[in-house]
Amino acid sequence: MATINAGDKIWDDKLKSGSAPIPDGEYSCFVLDAFPDTTKTGTPFVEMAFQIHEPNSPQKGRILRFQRFWLSDKAMPRFIRFLRAAG
């Protein structure tokens, strides 16, 4: 197994770009991936990852993980609203 040194300077740029909070605002995003699954209790859901695609933003390319959409009868309208908004 590889040795990981969390204090190594090689991680500085990656940490600055990847884990810093994304400022409040509206961003154009792509759905990067979607993972259908079911909880241990049997509730189905879809978990999605998004990537910011705002052309002139320093946030472009940042990945937002994850949004979980529950697929129960009660929660389905939220998922349907998302699908309609996404086109």
**pLDDT tens string 43-86:** 999 999 889 998 888 888 888 877 899 999 999 999 999 889 88
Closest among 61, 1, 51 to 29, alpha carbons compared: 51
Q: In the structure encoding, which two tokens stand for residue 17, read together?
A: 């770009």
Q: Using CA atoms of 61, 33, 81, 22 in order, give the dihedral in degrees to the nearest 10.
A: -30
Specify the pTM: 0.65
